Amino acid sequence: MTWNFYQFGRAVPGSQYPTAVGALQQAGRTSAAFFERRDIGLTPSLPAAACGRADRFQ
């Protein structure tokens, strides 16, 4: 996996780095705004079972 990241990184020009950092910072600000109004974010660990459709994956 590390080798794949290395190869991908070699193919991405440095000029895209500021754009990527900006997108990461925006995602952090969005997440922070979400948690200003909430104490916890819940996500299902087994979405098929939570929706009663676990039989579709057997």
pLDDT reported for residue 28: 95
Please tell me the distance from the alpha carbon of residue 16 to that of residue 24, in angstroms, as a whole number: 12
Burial 36-50 (b: 16+ CB within 10 A, else e): eeeeeeeeeeeeeee
Q: What is the DSSP letter of 52?
A: T
Please tell me the distance from the alpha carbon of residue 32 to that of residue 55, in angstroms, as a whole number: 37
H-run or E-run covering 22:
helix 17-37
pLDDT reported for residue 46: 66
Higher pLDDT, 28 or 9: 28
Please write the tens of the pLDDT for every residue from 24-46: 999 999 999 999 998 888 777 76
